[in-house]
Amino acid sequence: MFEQTKATKRRFHNGNFHNRYFTGDGIDIGGKPDPFSQYIGVFPLVKSVKVWDLEDGDAQFMESCSDEYYDFICSSHCLEHMVDVYEAFKNWIRITKKGGYLIITVPDEDMYEQKNWPSIYNSDHKWTFTINKSKSWSKKSINIFDLLKKFEDKIEIEKIEKVSEFYNHNLINVDQTLQPNVESAIEFIIKKKSSSNIINIEKDRFHLDIKLPKKFEISLSKLYNNIEKLKSTKKRYLVYGYGSVAKILEPILNKQIVAYIDNSKKVKESNYTNTSILNINEISTLKYDFIIISVLGREKEISSILINEYKIQSDKLIKLT
């Protein structure tokens, strides 16, 4: 129940979802009634997400979708409903661009079906899934490693994980996914192989056409290069602004961030580092090496305020672009 929402809460704290997996134009296969598209604002490098469901056609074939069209595919608890999982997975790979990612979750057979087949919690489940078990109790079990091996010439495995967030392993014959926080799933992420080397792929992906006002247009490759340079310095940073760019900084710089300055936020702690979000008047009480201005397009204005009103030395200010 609302598995996409649960996964989004968990994924938010992993920087790879922000700057690698969820970038560009995507498609959410089997997205209703809890589509990934509602969380575009959470992952700032996502341009658009097409929600594909029953009215769009059979997800096993994706017939109206062009080859190598989407930068990423996400699918939450849909693959287990396919008549032919291998055919479906082949077509999902087909419509993904080279260098793009497929982010997929399916129920874990031991946590969800719990040795009951047909499934007593969802009668439309046609398959169960497990990770590399030598033998399954289910006659319809698919081993994730066996599935992916069939396509090893086309894909690279990024991650395979059993997800048991808030799952109580002592409860028997209970659908715990009806609870708002419980996950009992397998999440696997794969990358479609490309003839280009990995560096060129990533550079291509950084030059996405972000739909921002003209004054906010940036070179994403330069932005990320600059952030990586900051990480390597091991310095302590104060971040001015707690918007989309600051949330990209969070998982990368992590504990190097002393605090955030953002007068518009009522929130008192950031989600990732538990770092304080403070009023600008508290700046004189903080110990830091540099201030990063994360509000793109207003660097000149903010620099002037910090230098003239708060007597910050100009060489202590860092602009990301």
Q: What pLDDT was estimated at residue 27?
A: 97
Q: What pLDDT was estimated at residue 81?
A: 97
pLDDT in tens, 125-150: 999 999 988 899 999 999 999 999 99
Distance CA 153, CA 7 (A): 29
Residue 269: count of CB within 10 angstroms of its CB: 11
The predicted model scores a pTM of: 0.62
Q: What is the pLDDT along the chain (321 residues), one digit of tens a residue?
A: 789 999 999 999 999 999 999 999 999 999 999 999 999 889 999 999 999 999 999 999 999 999 999 999 999 999 999 999 999 999 999 999 999 999 999 999 999 999 999 999 999 999 999 998 889 999 999 999 999 999 999 999 999 999 999 999 999 899 999 998 999 999 999 999 986 544 444 444 444 444 444 444 445 666 777 888 888 888 999 999 888 788 788 888 888 999 988 876 544 444 444 578 888 888 988 999 999 998 888 899 999 999 999 999 999 999 987
175: amino acid identity, one letter: D
Q: Which two tokens stand for residue 289?
A: 């090496």
HEC profile for the chain?
CCHHHHHHHHHCCCHHHHHHHCCEEEEEECCCCCCHHHHHHHCCCEEEEEEECHHHCCCCCCCCCCCCCEEEEEEECCHHHCCCHHHHHHHHHHCEEEEEEEEEEEEECCCCCCCCCCCCCCCCCCCEEECCCCCCCCCCEEEHHHHHHCCCCCEEEEEEEEECCCCCCCCCCCCHHHCCCCCCEEEEEEEECCCCCHHHHHHHHHCCCCCCCHHHCCCHHHHHHHHHHHHHHCCCEEEECCCHHHHHHHHHHHHHEEEEECCCCCCCECCCCCCEEECHHHHHHCCCCEEEECCCCCHHHHHHHHHHCCCCCHHHEEECC
